[in-house]
Amino acid sequence: MQLADKVVLVTGGGSGIGLGIAEAFAQEGCRVAITGRSESRLMHAAESVAADTPVLWKACDVSDRQSVRELFDWLTQELGSPDILVNSAGINVANRLFENIDPDDFDYVLAVNVTGSFNCIHAALPAMRQKGDGVIINIVSISGLHASILGGLPYSISKFGQSALGLFANLELAEQGIRVTNIYPGEANTPILDKRPAPPPEEKRAAMLQPEDIAACAVCVAKLPPRAVVPQLVIVPPYMVYG
């Protein structure tokens, strides 16, 4: 399935995996819009993408339902309703154990990582249902399959929630032509690593997945015909392979 002229919205598109995915879809000839909380980061990210069609951007806090509604209204006016939605917005915090977690931080991680994905899916569905077609890709984490100390308390819980959100969406929507894929990356070299209590050194980051690796998976899923649904896709660096 050719992707040229498909409308793609990528949340968390200002850096890391989201930016890598936005660039990959833009290079496929898609009309791409990115969103995130920082206007300056979004502007720089959009300008950095090498593609024939410029990437558009609009700031949005996906945890704020009104902000999401305004985002989708803007997108429809500028490009049309999304054919492909990529939920890549995600945060973590440095203090991520029961012994040091700030309850407000716990709430905010869940608000962005889980409720933010729900808000965007909920906003995208009316137009996708009307077309009887659509692709939704959730960038989850292997912390959404196996809780980990490294990922931390709020992040692991939020990623389990985002995983369940995507799996349930498929149960309801797949027969309506709307396919949902959860991608579960292992360690990836993105700015979220800087939030770790001990950020990894450059040599460790070089051995991790890179944003373009996950982006290639997203494009591959989006190119499949409507008869093919990929509910779950796990991608990890060699040192994280598990049986």
pLDDT of residue 196: 86
Instruction: Please give the model's pTM, rounded to 2 decimal places.
Output: 0.96
84-87: strand order across its sheet? 56-59, 31-36, 7-11, 84-87, 134-139, 178-185, 232-235
Q: What is the pLDDT of residue 195?
A: 83
In eight-state DSSP terms, residue 198 is S
97-120 b/e (C-beta count within 10 Å ≥ 16 → b):
eeeebeeebbebbbbbbbbbbbbb
d(CA 179, CA 11): 18
Tell me what pLDDT residue 113 has: 98
Give, for all 243 residues of the chain, the pLDDT tens digit.
589 999 999 999 999 999 999 999 999 999 999 999 999 999 999 999 999 999 999 999 999 999 999 999 999 999 999 999 999 999 999 999 999 999 999 999 999 999 999 999 999 999 999 999 999 999 999 999 999 999 999 999 999 999 999 999 999 999 999 999 999 999 999 988 988 888 999 999 999 999 999 999 999 999 999 999 999 999 999 999 987
Q: Give the model's pLDDT for residue 82.
A: 98
Structure tokens at 79: 């490009």
Point out the residues that are catalytic: 155
Alpha helices in the chain (DSSP H): 16-27, 39-48, 65-78, 103-110, 116-131, 153-173, 202-207, 211-223
Single out the residue of 181, 183, 207 nearest to residue 90, CA to CA.
Answer: 183
Q: Which phi and psi (to 5°) does residue 70 adopt? A: -65, -35
Integer-rounded Cα radius of gyration of the chain: 17
Residue 44: exposed, middle, or buried by beta-carbon count in 10 A (0-12, 13-18, 19+)?
A: middle
Residue 112, SS3? helix
Residue 33's pLDDT is what? 98
pLDDT for 1? 58
| Superfamily classification of domain 7-240 | NAD(P)-binding Rossmann-like Domain (3.40.50.720)
pLDDT of residue 192: 87
Query: Per-domain residue ranges for the chain?
Result: 7-240
Tokens 């929630």 belong to: 161
